[in-house]
Amino acid sequence: MFLLINKASGPSSHNIVAKLRGITSLKRIGHAGTLDPFAEGLLVIAIKRDSTKKLTNLLKLDKTYEATLKLGATTDTYDKTGTIKKGKEKNLNLTEIKKVLKSFEGDSLQTPPDYSAKKINGKKAYELARKGKTVNLQKQKITIDSIKLKKFDNKKQTLSIEVNCSSGTYIRSLAADIGKALGTGAYLTKLVRTRIGPFKLSSAIHLGKLNSKNWIKHTFNNLPKLKVKKRILVFGTFDKLHPGHKSFFNQALKLAEELYVILARDKNVKNLKGKTPHHSELKRVESIRKLNLTKQVNLGSENWINRYRIINKIKPDIIALGYDQKVNLTELRTKLEKYGLKPEIIRLKPHKPSVFKSSLIKS
């Protein structure tokens, strides 16, 4: 069963799920994409195991948001819940604003907010940020299909926009980046999610209207045909990035729209090969990012359980292996099935292996 909820500003997505568990007396409930507590709008809820198992594809769906930005100031959280810092005053015109908005359309690399649930070495970024610790989050590839200017109030210095974007896009980060591009600074004062794939906010119900007797009347069982982007995952050391690696990535992108990379950590490489890579893990990550081919680059884990948790978060449709990558396929499939994952596993073709192989390249 599925349920469309119109979330109000205030409660977290987790709070909504907890209240629904109380209303339905069912524990197996999940959602297809978190909304920040201050944000409003559409939550797609899955109820019971048969439905929660289908959340994988729902999480990949494109989304639409309506956002209001306050210009001339910034906050540490990129929204109105943070500490406000005055920015620059600047007279803006519609032509300039539309030009800046247009520049954000298409594929790009976006840095998630420091105050986000993204994890760094097992800890949530916002937990580190609240303690005043440095947060270094990896950039991730996003796609913004369109940004429409809805309203510009020069007197109040507010900007209202509609954004159609890929999953994984942070509208808070987008607001901060728009503020930088305009030269004024900006932060979100309002955010409403109006669409997730084929599901629209207009079809959703407020939680306060549901009770133990009527909730089931608002559910549906059959999902419409979903248009989702295929995800392909590759993993390896990728030391001394060379044409062989680039061919590997490009082959992968012919099989799916989104490429995810899990990079072997320096310690893991040393344990396996007896020596550390020529380039450090951070340099290897940066080299891959600069290719602008990947949706996301993740550092692996020394712990096998955590490695599979990382894969589970990506939920790949395909796992692509190198021609010489030594992997126990039976073990890989068995461990993935524990998470309900059954990706296609394939091997990609080599590209001049007698020339382009890390162990053969000296410089």
Copy the structure tokens of residue 182.
């305009």
- Going by pLDDT thresholds of 50, 70 and 90, the confidence category of residue 358 is low
39 and 118 co-located in one domain:
no
pLDDT tens for each residue of 39-48 = 999 999 999 9
Question: What mean pLDDT comes out for the span 209-219?
Answer: 97
The answer to whether position 192 is within a domain reads yes
CA distance 187 to 273: 47
The answer to whether position 223 is within a domain reads no
Is this model's pTM higher than 0.85 or not? no
Question: What pLDDT score was predicted for residue 261?
Answer: 95
> Above 80 in pLDDT, residue 135?
no
CA distance 99 to 96: 5
The answer to whether position 136 is within a domain reads yes
The answer to whether position 107 is within a domain reads yes
Catalytic residue, from 36, 79, 114, 177: name it: 36
186 and 273 co-located in one domain:
no
35 and 93 co-located in one domain:
no
Question: What pLDDT score was predicted for residue 129?
Answer: 65
- For residues 140 and 295, the answer to whether their CB atoms sit within 8 Å is yes
pLDDT tens for each residue of 233-287 = 999 999 888 888 999 999 999 999 999 999 999 998 898 888 889 899 999 998 9
Q: Which residues pair with 163 in a beta bridge?
A: 65, 147
152 and 242 co-located in one domain:
no
The answer to whether position 202 is within a domain reads no
DSSP string, 52-119: HTTHHHHHT--EEEEEEEEESEEETTSBTTS-EEE-------HHHHHHHHHHT-EEEEEPPPSSSS-E
165 and 42 co-located in one domain:
no
Q: Examine the residue annotation and report whether 36 is marked as an active-site residue of this protein.
A: yes
Question: What pLDDT score was predicted for residue 111?
Answer: 85
How many distinct structural domains can be found in the chain?
A: 3
The domain boundary, picked from 12, 28, 61, lies at: 61
Which has the higher per-residue pLDDT, 294 or 65?
A: 65
- Going by pLDDT thresholds of 50, 70 and 90, the confidence category of residue 363 is very low
Percent of the chain with pLDDT over 90: 60
The answer to whether position 145 is within a domain reads yes
- For residues 3 and 47, the answer to whether their CB atoms sit within 8 Å is yes
Residue 323 DSSP symbol = T
Domain coverage including residue 21: 2-61
pLDDT tens for each residue of 3-34 = 999 999 999 999 999 999 999 999 999 999 99
Exposure string for 42-58, b = 16+ CB within 10 A, e = fewer: bbbbbbeeebbeebbeb
Q: Indicate the SS3 state at residue 337.
A: helix
Question: What pLDDT score was predicted for residue 295?
Answer: 86
pLDDT tens for each residue of 185-204 = 999 999 999 999 999 999 99
- Which residue carries 């109105």 as its tokens? 80
CA distance 247 to 348: 9
Copy the structure tokens of residue 260.
């995810």
Cα dihedral: 340, 319, 287, 295 (round 10): -60
245 and 292 co-located in one domain:
yes
Question: What pLDDT score was predicted for residue 273?
Answer: 83
- Which residue carries 């900006």 as its tokens? 186
Exposure string for 143-181, b = 16+ CB within 10 A, e = fewer: bbeebeeeebeeeebbbbbbbbbbbbbbbbbbbbbbbeb
Copy the structure tokens of residue 288.
């891959």
CA distance 211 to 46: 17
The domain boundary, picked from 61, 88, 104, lies at: 61
The answer to whether position 216 is within a domain reads no
| Domain of residue 283, CATH code | 3.40.50.620
User: On the CB side of 175, how many CA atoms lie within 13 Å of its CA?
Assistant: 31
